[in-house]
Amino acid sequence: MALVTSTEMFKKAYEGGYAVGAFNVNNMEIVQGITEAAREEKAPLILQVSKGARAYANHTYLVKLVEAAVIECPEIPIVLHLDHGPDFETCKSCIDGGFTSVMIDGSSHSFEDNIALTRKVVEYAHAHGVVVEGELGTLAGVEDDVKVSAADSSYTRPEEVEEFVEKTGVDSLAIAIGTSHGAYKFTPEQCTRNEKGILVPPPLRFDILEEVSRRLPGFPIVLHGSSSVPQNFVKMINENGGKMPDAVGIPEEQLRKAASMSVCKINIDSDLRLAMTGTIREFFVQHPDKFDPREYLKPARANIKEMVRHKIVDVLGCNGKA
């Protein structure tokens, strides 16, 4: 199967009450770990590339790695998506360069400017058979070189979504309902401790999601910043020389609930980074004499694969849907 757009994927996900995982890729091992899990679980898949990933690994290398995954996994549909496209030029470059989906992130602009920029990208993308994700509302956290403080973040205003979708022609919409980018999503002060002493963040704003869905029936919604920051990997990092205290993420039950609603795409990146970093740190502590990258990248790739399998089966519910 060649690379596909997300149109059919989202239609099936919406009707089936599950979400497709969108995982960020930066190198070969990450591509392999993700795609092996998706192939074994027969799950549709979105591989996404950020501006930072293109700067790190080079556009052509990333496209060719994803094309290799398509050849290796002919049974599953795969989308190649630009994550957080910052401007028209970056989106155009990805559309011209083999991507099947782009995000134009106009969320830092005024409502009117966001509409104008998104509309421009949609016109170019649709003329080339590529789909577009837009964003309304601002997530807190770090993504590429942009850091948004909690004070500067803002929930999506449901009363704006119909006008935005109608005027831009976007194919999916990312909204802000309390998720945020990175591993440090919540401070301990923002959380409460449950009966097991575990820090629990404030619940996502499902009321906003419900109102958005009511206003946009059948329309695919996207959640960014959806890593759950698994504490076993935070512990593994900290026990092997790292310093990541108080990293708290989004509870997986809440993501499962969102996936059963109108959320058709859930973005996960930080959890894969934690799995990779924890595994490599532990390897070096256990094998201080080793220096062959293949030896430490192999268990890191295996743990990325198991993390993605867990997300597909236990969080997204998209196993067997390819």
Binding site for ligand G3H (CB under 6 A): 24, 50, 52-53, 83-84, 143-144, 181, 269
Site string for ligand 13P, 175-194 (x = CB under 6 A): ------xx------------
From residue 144, give the alpha-carbon distance in Å to each of 67, 72, 160, 260. 24, 30, 26, 30
* 233: helix, strand or coil: helix
Q: Is 224 in the site for Zn ion (CB under 5 A)?
A: yes
Least Cβ distance, residue 171 to Zn ion (angstroms): 17
First to last CA, the chain: 11
Q: Which of 224, 281, 311, 321 binds ligand 13P (CB under 6 A)?
A: 224
Nearer to ligand G3H, 50 or 254 (CB): 50
Which of ligand G3H, Zn ion, ligand 13P, none does residue 53 bind (CB under 5 to 8 Å by kind)?
Answer: ligand G3H
Residue 57 backbone zone (phi > 0: left; psi -120 to 50: alpha; other: beta): alpha
Q: Is 201 in the site for ligand 13P (CB under 6 A)?
A: no
What are phi and psi for residue 167, nearest 5 degrees?
A: -75, -30
Q: Is 270 in the site for ligand 13P (CB under 6 A)?
A: yes
> Residues for the chain: how many in total?
322
Nearer to ligand G3H, 39 or 84 (CB): 84
Q: Which DSSP category does 129 fall into?
A: T
Nearer to ligand 13P, 245 or 288 (CB): 245
Cα angle, residue 186 at apex, residues 52 and 248 outer, rounded to 5°: 85
Which of ligand G3H, ligand 13P, Zn ion, none does residue 135 bind (CB under 5 to 8 Å by kind)?
Answer: none
171 is catalytic: no
Q: Which DSSP category does 181 fall into?
A: S
Strand ranges for the chain from DSSP E:
20-24, 45-50, 78-85, 101-104, 131-136, 141-143, 146-148, 172-175, 192-193, 199-200, 221-223, 263-268
- With CB under 6 A as the rule, give the number of residues binding ligand 13P: 13
Q: Per CB under 5 A, which of residues 41..70 are in contact with Zn ion?
A: none
Q: Which DSSP category does 316 fall into?
A: I
Nearer to ligand 13P, 13 or 287 (CB): 13
Segment contacting ligand 13P by CB under 6 A, of 2-10, 25-33, 69-77, 220-228? 220-228
The number of angstroms, rounded, from the C-alpha of 252 to the middle of its chain's C-alpha atoms is 14
Nearer to ligand 13P, 10 or 215 (CB): 10
Cα angle, residue 95 at apex, residues 29 and 265 outer, rounded to 5°: 60
Nearer to ligand 13P, 159 or 183 (CB): 183
CA distance 191 to 229: 14
Least Cβ distance, residue 83 to ligand G3H (angstroms): 6
Least Cβ distance, residue 26 to ligand G3H (angstroms): 7
Residue 217, token pair as written in the block = 């029936």
Q: Which of 29, 36, 41, 83 binds ligand 13P (CB under 6 A)?
A: 83
Which of ligand 13P, ligand G3H, Zn ion, none does residue 226 bind (CB under 5 to 8 Å by kind)?
Answer: ligand 13P
Query: Known catalytic residues?
Result: 83
Residue numbers at the binding site for Zn ion (CB under 5 A): 224
